[in-house]
Structure 1
């Protein structure tokens, strides 16, 4: 389903590409890269549940984060509009043809919360770092140039790493071997790396792997979560919701902070944790979490919660499962919802997480990501 492979022809010596990733205060992870010729530095939220690269462009009618310079396509020698008659335009969900004589490909994304982003699909050169060269240029990469949005970005855009045909990973697949990895550092003053190609291999002691399940459009990476365990208490991941049954029952998402579980599964997990944590229960001052304790984070004594994926047991410690809600209040950082299960980025911190889309596996390796 990758119709964009032919866009990028680069040297075989560039099969080890990387980009710095930093943590924002709101829990999003930001990737830096460059667009256009000459290269213009931009930033985007690393999002494995999005299948397009979005960037807020100059002359945007309604955009956010006006303090950062926006990409201006008119200054780039390699910028081109994507015709609505092109195969790529027709292969992407949410596209339409402009009503003027230009007949360019327009794109709209509507989110579940009612927000939206609208813009043009353009073709541009993306520049990333490399092990072997200072920079590697990927010409004719399809980008969404935002002209109108009511989404409040803490960055200039989004870097979609999902499975759709115009995600960054899909478009670079012929050059990076359909592999990428990231290591999410838990503190904002330390950057880590998003790696592509040969540099993204995850192996060695402690590595566990589970199968990716692709569904309609191949946009999301579904994993099969069988159960959680808290000590000797095993909570089966079964729910009255059909979305939580069978293979491919949870989405792994670097663009969502907290892990989201069906109501009945969350209730059992919360009870299991509450039974073993010997701390005073208090209300959440943020009014977001339902299980909170009076404690400082450095002294919190909580159990390891193991996520039992098919073929892979991932042990989550306090860093992955609890959050400081306020001074002397820590909360279980899972949310309850029937909108669909998500394995969020907090649970992935201090793991080297590798995606091998050729083999259809995700691997986890416990790692100090501040040293990557």
Structure 2
């Protein structure tokens, strides 16, 4: 049924250009790849990719899991999945929060550290609310790129076990082990075998290490092959999702949250499990029956208090508006993007419009916006996103702009 997503705190902007539809559509995959969509600089509500569920549900007093987020180079993922249930529920405070580093604006995705095996082997994984499988390169992989950390070595873990072939999975050639395969819109792919091992979340977490199923890659292609991050941490709706596995074990509350640092800050934090909602938390619904993705009903976009002159139905495609922490850009149908561009441009006439940094793409760039982030709101208008239940999320300029350097602003 319908569920709820918290809206509100800060979300950081990510690089934009019209190439986003092909370069960064791993999070959106085929549904958007077929649209004449253009990229926008604000990442649609990756703001609080907190889970879907009713805010009035109460979780057991299980410790939430707090993970630091670090940043790396662009790319993400998504997978069709089934199942739904999640809810922001009341619970204890996070056990720890870490100050994070890295420069947000020079990177296109967020990673966290996950530890697999006994003794633990460390990996930097893209946090992806649009994907349902967590995977890392296997030591035996002959078609995997060079990544941030050494590959996972099952033989060095005393607690590793393969997921044996069964009626609920696809199997390898000798029918001994379950396999997985994921293909993405930007033509990258990941495939391998499924294993089970102890997964731990770092010294700042109150949650004890847990057994979980994950993918051990035998092949990577495209951006997955070339990216710096080791792999993907799947947080989407689905049986293999890390979230679903932990919730099914009863070790965490039925929700997760993300908070990103702003421009010039970077990093952020992620909480797996229930935590007290701020008193001013704003909710909007996510219909799990309609879509396997974390979707919301976006009705209008306002620029400087005025709604864009577009039919609200253009925001309401097959899946509605999808929240995806693994997608670098936000996507709008072309009609909405053009209206947004015109509305913003009309408010910043004092600035000089200049060529973008890449001559191959028609980025919209302005010079002379000032070096201080706080100055942006003096020049650029506020943007409001209005949802089906009437709730509104306000975005400051740093939430929808990308700064190329200290003087050049782009969206």
**TM-score, structure 2 as length reference:** 0.69
Q: In structure 2, how many angstroms separate the alpha carbons of the residues matched to 1:254 and 1:76?
A: 30
Total equivalences in the alignment: 307
CA shift in 2, pair 1:188/1:36, >3 Å: farther
Maintained 8 Å contact 1:14/1:136:
no
Q: 1:176 aligns with which of 252, 255, 260?
A: 252
Q: In structure 1, how many angstroms separate the alpha carbons of the residues matched to 2:111 and 2:355?
A: 32
Gaps of at least 5 residues in structure 1 are 1-11, 90-95, 333-372
Once the two structures are TM-superposed, the CA of residue 239 in structure 1 deviates from its matched residue by 6.7
Any idea what SS the aligned residue of 2:70 has?
strand
Tell me the residue number matched to 2:219: 148
CA shift in 2, pair 1:310/1:280, >3 Å: same
Q: Does 1:185 align with 2:261?
A: yes
CA shift in 2, pair 1:127/1:223, >3 Å: same
Any idea what SS the aligned residue of 2:119 has?
coil
Once the two structures are TM-superposed, the CA of residue 292 in structure 1 deviates from its matched residue by 1.6
Q: In structure 1, how many angstroms separate the alpha carbons of the residues matched to 2:409 and 2:400?
A: 10
Once the two structures are TM-superposed, the CA of residue 227 in structure 1 deviates from its matched residue by 0.7
Once the two structures are TM-superposed, the CA of residue 108 in structure 1 deviates from its matched residue by 1.0
Q: 1:310 aligns with which of 376, 382, 388?
A: 388
Tell me the residue number matched to 1:344: none
Gaps of at least 5 residues in structure 2 are 1-59, 73-105
CA shift in 2, pair 1:132/1:69, >3 Å: closer
**Cα offsets for 1:125-154 (capped at 9, x unmatched):** 111247774x61111x11011111012222
**TM-score, structure 1 as length reference:** 0.75
1:51-200 to structure 2, matched below 5 A, reads 51-66=132-147, 68-85=149-166, 87=168, 89=169, 96-100=170-174, 102-129=175-202, 133=206, 136-139=208-211, 141-150=212-221, 151=224, 152-173=226-247, 174-186=250-262, 191-199=267-275
Maintained 8 Å contact 1:105/1:120:
yes
**Cα offsets for 1:90-141 (capped at 9, x unmatched):** xxxxxx21112x52111111111222111111111111247774x61111x1
Any idea what SS the aligned residue of 2:151 has?
coil
Any idea what SS the aligned residue of 2:155 has?
helix
Tell me the residue number matched to 1:210: 284
Any idea what SS the aligned residue of 1:142 has?
strand
CA shift in 2, pair 1:17/1:236, >3 Å: farther
Q: In structure 2, how many angstroms separate the alpha carbons of the residues matched to 1:236 and 1:159?
A: 39
Q: In structure 2, how many angstroms separate the alpha carbons of the residues matched to 1:297 and 1:163?
A: 41
CA shift in 2, pair 1:283/1:131, >3 Å: closer
Q: Does 1:293 align with 2:366?
A: yes
Q: In structure 2, how many angstroms separate the alpha carbons of the residues matched to 1:239 and 1:62?
A: 45
Q: In structure 2, how many angstroms separate the alpha carbons of the residues matched to 1:163 and 1:232?
A: 35
Q: In structure 1, how many angstroms separate the alpha carbons of the residues matched to 2:118 and 2:111?
A: 22
Q: Greater strand percent: which structure?
A: 1
